[in-house]
Amino acid sequence: MKIFVVGTGRVAKCVIDKLTAKGHTIVCGSRHPESIAETEQCKPVLFDLHSEKNDITETVKGFDAVYFLAGSRGKDLLQTDAFGAVKLMQACEAVGIKRFILLSSIFALEPEKWAQEKSLQNITNYNIAKFFADNYLVSCIDLDYTIVQPSVLKEEEGNGMIELDPEHDGSNPIPDVAEVLVSVLERKNTFKKVIKMRSGDTPIGSALANI
């Protein structure tokens, strides 16, 4: 598949490595394309989520799927994490791209949990931005979406074991989150689903197969 990936952060880089290993062709869009090495299968391009929707629409023409893996780390929540994601969704709809995969945050659609879970108590503004982006994808546009909502990201080696739909937050090694994001790409049973996850004791493939 020809895939457009937005973002060059920790998760995005891991996802790109895994997608190219599976033979997909990637164009990676970012305001800092120099942070991604260009290869035969991966081309970094300058891409700004502050751009007008028409410009974003021109950029995504011709792709089979789009990943939104960008994040402002709290510095630009409205323009990047919320409205930037929405404009990208609208652009996909405009050019007929159906497959859209969004990286979010656990319980982003459940504000009643934000004060209850320790890891969420200090990132309320981030969760608000994700709440609106996730809601738009679920309720306001017709894409074959998957929203992946991991717990706290950890820079540690993954073990390929997760728990889906947990009652409480936890943590996830970045490689495991990337593996889920890549694994859902062609799994039709994950279309139009929100996947809440933390580390657990079920292999990723088995967990996703049972959604």
Distance from the first to the final alpha carbon of the chain: 23
Residue 202 neighbours by CB under 8 Å, 6+ apart: 161, 162, 163, 164
Average pLDDT over residues 131-149: 98
Evaluate if pTM is beyond 0.85.
yes
Each residue of 109-122: pLDDT tens digit?
999 999 999 999 99
Residue 72: its pLDDT value, please? 87
- Express each pLDDT in 38-72 by its tens digit: 999 999 999 999 999 999 999 999 999 999 999 98
**String of DSSP letters for 1-60:** -EEEEE--SHHHHHHHHHHHHTT-EEEEEES-GGGS---SSEEEEE--TTS-HHHHHHHH
CA-CA distance, 161 to 9, in Å (whole number)?
A: 23
Predicted confidence at residue 73, as pLDDT, reads 87
Q: What's the token pair of residue 49? A: 């989520």
pLDDT tens-digit series, residues 76-106: 999 999 999 999 999 999 999 999 999 999 9
Residue pair 174/130 in contact by the 8 Å Cβ criterion? no
DSSP 3-state of 193:
strand
Domains and CATH numbers, the chain: 2-209 (3.40.50.720)
Mean pLDDT of the chain: 97
- Phi, psi of 2, rounded to the nearest 5 degrees: -100, 120
- Asked whether residue 178 carries a pLDDT value surpassing 90, the answer given is yes
Amino acid identity of residue 93, one-letter, is: E
What is the per-residue pLDDT across 4-16, written as a single tens digit (0 to 9) for each? 999 999 999 999 9
